[in-house]
Structure 1
Amino acid sequence: MSPATPPTIPPPAPRSSAALHTETTGKGPRLVLAHGFTQTGRVWGSMDDDLAQDHEVVRVDLPGHGASSAVAAGLADGALLLGEAGGQATYVGYSMGARFSLHLALARPALVLGLVLISGTAGIDLPAERLARRRTDEAMAEQLDPTGGPPSTATPVETFIRRWLEGPLFAGISPEGSGLGRRLANTGPGLASSLRLAGTGTQPALWDRLGELTMPVLIVTGGSDEKFTALGGRMAAAIGPNATRTVVAGANHAPHLQRPQEVAALVRGQTRPVAR
């Protein structure tokens, strides 16, 4: 049997001119929440509503997700769209959202008063490993939006998302606790576009640029997520004295969903919320 042909990686699509969908609640210092892959701006557990008690909370649907499903943009262009949607604020990014937020902080630092990176990374170091990850992401994108077959051959979104949430990164949290119902607002083509244009393999290694960040940076990881906790420590060291690192005990890759009150308190420490 001949070996399987690796998926062909399509060229980047042009940046969409559409604005990202946002929902805003609360009053106080502005927080912009940038969610993770397969989520939407409403998948923050109870953390977003908690923070809206004393902050202006801007929930953004990132490119390819939720009400921004038709917006196609890579990390660099998507970060600019994020900045246009959120304005000057403290940016809170989780996983994929951390990638967008980090790109924004480097490209438009005047917009980013503070940066909270939850389970984030500054990229894969080795080009060969980045290419391998892009091929993995393309294989997943093909499940959702086949380029060589009719749409009827696509994996249903709910099936794909349930499989995604069964991965080791989300051990210890149920699909319902992960916001499954709201994740189903996503579309197959939208998620496929996100994987192809803004997946982990598309992110250049930004480690040597982390020292450019001058705003306060909080790095949050779950104590059970060994990989990202190690990456978080490396990021904090590269950023310097304006970086603070916190490990949330008993949480995995999504500490904001498993320990929402604890993570909300950490975010509050980065701002000056209004007194009620």
Structure 2
Amino acid sequence: MAIHNPQMSSTIETSPATDISYHVTETGVGDPLVLLHGFTGSSESWADVTDRLSHRFRVIRIDLPGHGRTPAPPDPARCTLQLVASDIAARLRDLGSTPAHLVGYSMGARLALGIALLHPYAVRTLILESGSPGLATEAERAARRVLDEALATRIEQEGIVAFVEEWERLPLWESQQRLPEAVRQRLHAQRLRNTPSGLATSLRGMGTGAQPSFWDDLPRLSVPTLLITGALDAKFTEIARAMQARCPTMIHCVIADAGHVPHLECPAEFVKRVVEFIDR
């Protein structure tokens, strides 16, 4: 078993490769394992699983543009999924962390899939939690861009408190009502630390409507891939099954009694599944 190291937190400075300073937190020693959070999250979102994983891995958590301590660029066109994928691959290379085990949740899963397809040298294994290859048709993407723009504008106009209250009422999070009050309060406080401009820019640049479809690219995925969904999240469990049908080498794991965020709702089971997959 690797010796557990104290947490180290640092901001990776800009370089010719990227003009965005990504905040990176590292914990533990061993093979690099990278955690990419979802929309409204940050590196703090992985707190419960980081403690469990850092005994085995060098856990690298990255705040994505407009979240946590990584600022959003003024122009949303600078934080498209493709450009951020290139940024993350370059940062991992600078850190001497390629190829890495790459774990992404929701928005972070879409990004992780993009990294694996566009920069396969950077990825050793790929774990996608509640992920998606995007929307299949341009008509679907155009309709979603309208919705994302409306939400981005509302966030800017109404502020972070009103948005978080609205966001947390979505049926997607219903299963989280069973979590301990302290956990829910911690998650709420973390969301409030984001900024309206950061979240709005992220939606416009990296929202589901803005990203290209990766559905047709799935068969050429060259790295071992695990899909994780919660049994209570019917939508993303069905998406995972459709992904596996396109790429039969993928493994799909459904965690019982979990919704959209298994790593938060069932952290021990989530970590067990991740470690078992990597140990293969």
Which TM-score tier does this pair reach, normalised by the shorter chain? 0.7 to 0.9
- Structure 2 equivalent of residue 271 of structure 1: 278
Identity %: 39
Gaps of 5+ in 2: 1-16
Mapped to 2, the partners of 1:173 and 1:234 lie a distance apart of 25
Is the 1:29–1:271 contact (alpha carbons within 8 Å) kept by the matching residues of 2? no
- Structure 2 equivalent of residue 207 of structure 1: 215
Tell me the TM-score normalised to structure 2 length. Answer: 0.85
- Structure 2 equivalent of residue 79 of structure 1: 85
Is the 1:22–1:59 contact (alpha carbons within 8 Å) kept by the matching residues of 2? yes
Tell me the TM-score normalised to structure 1 length. Answer: 0.86
Deviation (angstroms), 1:271: 2.6
> 5 Å matches for 1:134-149?
134-145=145-156
Mapped to 1, the partners of 2:224 and 2:115 lie a distance apart of 14
- Structure 1 equivalent of residue 128 of structure 2: 117
- Structure 1 equivalent of residue 12 of structure 2: none
Whichever residue aligns with residue 157 of structure 1, its letter is I
Deviation (angstroms), 1:123: 1.2
Q: The residue matched to 2:158 in structure 1 has which SS?
A: coil
Whichever residue aligns with residue 20 of structure 2, its letter is A
Deviation (angstroms), 1:70: 2.7
> 5 Å matches for 1:61-72?
61-71=63-73, 72=78
Runs of 4+ aligned residues of structure 1 deviating over 3 Å after TM superposition are none
- Structure 1 equivalent of residue 23 of structure 2: 21
Gaps of 5+ in 1: 1-14, 146-153
Deviations 1:12-33 (A, max 9, x none): xxx9611311100001111100
Deviations 1:57-89 (A, max 9, x none): 001001111111234511000111122233410
Mapped to 2, the partners of 1:210 and 1:245 lie a distance apart of 14
- Structure 2 equivalent of residue 56 of structure 1: 58
- Structure 2 equivalent of residue 9 of structure 1: none
Mapped to 1, the partners of 2:40 and 2:90 lie a distance apart of 22
- Structure 1 equivalent of residue 117 of structure 2: 106
Q: Cα RMSD between the aligned structures?
A: 1.8
Mapped to 1, the partners of 2:31 and 2:273 lie a distance apart of 15
Whichever residue aligns with residue 245 of structure 1, its letter is H
Mapped to 2, the partners of 1:78 and 1:185 lie a distance apart of 21
Mapped to 1, the partners of 2:148 and 2:222 lie a distance apart of 32
Mapped to 1, the partners of 2:154 and 2:117 lie a distance apart of 33
Deviation (angstroms), 1:144: 2.0
1:181 aligns with one of 177, 182, 189? 189
> 5 Å matches for 1:148-187?
154-174=157-177, 176-177=183-184, 179-187=187-195
1:92 equivalenced with 2:103 (yes/no): yes
- Structure 2 equivalent of residue 196 of structure 1: 204
- Structure 2 equivalent of residue 245 of structure 1: 252
Which has the bigger relative contact order, CA under 8 A and spacing at least 6? 1
